Amino acid sequence: MKKITWFFIMGALLTGLNACKKDGDTGNAGTPDNSFKIAKKEMRAVWITTAYGLDWPQGEHNVATQKQQYIAYLDKFKELNINAVFVQVKGMGDAFYNSPYEPWSTVITGTRGADPGYDVLKFMLDEAHARGMEFHAWLNPYRIATRASSTTAYPALHASVPPEWVVNHEKIQIYNPALPEVRQRLADIVKDLITKYDVDGIHFDDYFYPDPGAAGTMVADKPDYDHYGAGIASIEDFRRDNVNKAIKAVHDVIVATRPEVVFSISPAASDTYNYNTLYADVLKWNREGWLDVIIPQLYQQVGAPTNDYKERLQWWHQFRYQATMMVGHAYYRFGDPVAPTAFQSVNELEKQFDLTKKYRASLGHVLYSAKYILQNPIGITDKLATLWNTPTVIPFLGRSVAADPGEPQNVRIEGGSLKWDASGDVRSVVYFTTDLAQEAKVLTITNGKEAAASAAGYYCVTTINKDNKESKASTVIKK
């Protein structure tokens, strides 16, 4: 009995140590050594879907109109204190930049492979960075095309893609996950992208092996198993091993090429579905440290009969292992007449945010998807504006590359301005509170060394580097 008790005590201790592994980096690292309480860091992000042109460019093929549409998104996001975008730049075996591996996306010009006449990805990236937002490049690793039935032909493959690398299921065409050449191609695509563009992250969604329910008649992969699966006990384990190798290959190429790039994946809420249907062994990826961020798509309401938001939130928090956890929210369901009753009220979003705050290691929210923020069904975006009414600092998520930021010096109030000295390639964060017993909020994040200080209260300043590492906080200044 004593041995059993000791086993469980040690297991609990080890679990706690693992759960807190990144908390020292992503919590309140800049908190000064006094009673000043700094707000928790978090990413606030939106998915911008380009597959089928859903969020962007929505059927628009005019360059000026496309740019205007994208800028309208970012301006609204900035107003809402959103600090990151996840933009789909490879949704259908295609690209939103000049790629040697895949054709220009159909949705940009209306013709697959047609050069749009401007650097789409650079434009999107620069506009996000100009507003202080991170840009995470969202890729679908395997999907090339979809169709309603086998009576419609799939589009011609890019010249660099051998047909033998591709599987034509009834309703979906994919790169064959079993082939080593496909895994290498995926790694090459990622390396090419992060070398050419200063993206902050690489992001995959939840599509790996196709769901038979959506793919129609499936092409059998037993010949692949017979050829490549020596020593693997089952064809199901073989499929999971193929995806594992692809995820590790992407992780490794990021670390070798630009280690500061954050690698994230947004799996389905149900890990049973991930594991047994999509053959995505997400928990292994978390344990092995192949992912920096895990963003489960918790798209059901609190108290749902299946995939209950609260239950799934707790489960993913428990099994995040080395990954930082964030939550994917079903923003699109608010006001949808076919959605459950909970999504007919804006209070459901606040309830979900409040539950997430209870988990110290949950450090962000990603909303699906962009167009619904502008549409504002049932006033959900008005509610979001009240929930995110101050800026916030993105936590440190990946691998440190930049020099550590230094503590701001000579913090002072001159007239109606707070001023300070800072050195290096850093931005500064100004925190403010009227009551030291209350949590301080972010007043501003700035590239400068001055901020308005019109209100009476307590101020302090930190700096953050390109990796989102935060310095020790300055002395607290009272006005």
Give this prediction's pTM. 0.93
Q: Is the peptide bond before 105 cis (omega within 30 degrees of 0)?
A: no
For the chain, give the percent of residues with pLDDT over 90.
Answer: 91
Computed over its alpha carbons, how large is the radius of gyration of the chain? 23
CA distances from 113 to 54, 89, 103, 105, 121 (A): 19, 14, 5, 6, 15
What is the distance in angstroms between the CA of the first residue and the CA of the last residue of the chain?
61
pLDDT at 21 > cutoff 50: no
Nearest to 27 by CA among 393, 339, 403: 393
Confidence (pLDDT) at 26: 44
pLDDT tens track for 327-337? 999 999 999 99
pLDDT per residue over 157-203, tens digit each? 999 999 999 999 999 999 999 999 999 999 999 999 999 999 999 99
Residue 409's alpha-carbon distances to 28, 449, 452, 469, 475, in angstroms, are: 20, 10, 17, 18, 9
Tokens, residue 197 = 């563009």
**Is residue 317 within 8 Å of 283, Cβ to Cβ?**
no
pLDDT at 214 over 90: yes
The DSSP-derived string for 110-149 is SSTT---SS-HHHHHHHHHHHTT-EEEEEE-SSEEEE-SS
Q: Which of 324, 336, 256 is nearest to 296 (CA)?
A: 324
Q: What is the pLDDT of residue 448?
A: 97
Give residue-wise pLDDT tens across range 99-147: 999 999 999 999 999 999 999 999 999 999 999 999 999 999 999 999 9
pLDDT the model gives residue 4: 35
Amino acid at 7: F
Q: Is the pLDDT score of 19 beyond 60?
A: no
| Element at 431 (helix H, strand E) | strand 427-433
For 38-387, give the CATH class: alpha beta
* 35 half-sphere exposure, CB direction, 13 A CA radius: 7
Question: What confidence score (pLDDT) does residue 22 get?
Answer: 36
Domain positions in the chain are 38-387, 402-478
Q: Under a CB-based contact definition with an 8 Å cutoff, are residues 83 and 45 in contact?
A: yes
Residue 338: partners with Cβ closer than 8 Å, 6 or more residues away = none
The SS3 call for residue 204 is: strand
Average pLDDT, the chain: 93
For 450, half-sphere exposure in the C-beta direction (CA atoms, 13 angstrom radius) is: 5
Superfamily of domain 402-478: Immunoglobulins (2.60.40.10)
pLDDT of residue 1: 38
Reply yes or no on whether the pLDDT at 229 is more than 90.
yes
Task: Give the distance, in angstroms, between the CA of residue 459 and the centroid of all CA atoms in the same chain.
Answer: 31
The 10s digit of each residue's pLDDT in 277-325 is 999 999 999 999 999 999 999 999 999 999 999 999 999 999 999 999 9
Q: Which long-range contacts (CB under 8 A, 24 or more apart) does 101-105 make?
A: 101/158, 101/160, 101/161, 101/185, 101/188, 101/189, 101/192, 102/158, 102/160, 102/161, 102/189, 103/158, 105/50
Greatest distance between any 2 Cα atoms in the chain: 77
Contact 432, 411 (CB under 8 A): no
How far apart are the C-alpha atoms of 203 and 90, rounded to whole Å?
A: 10
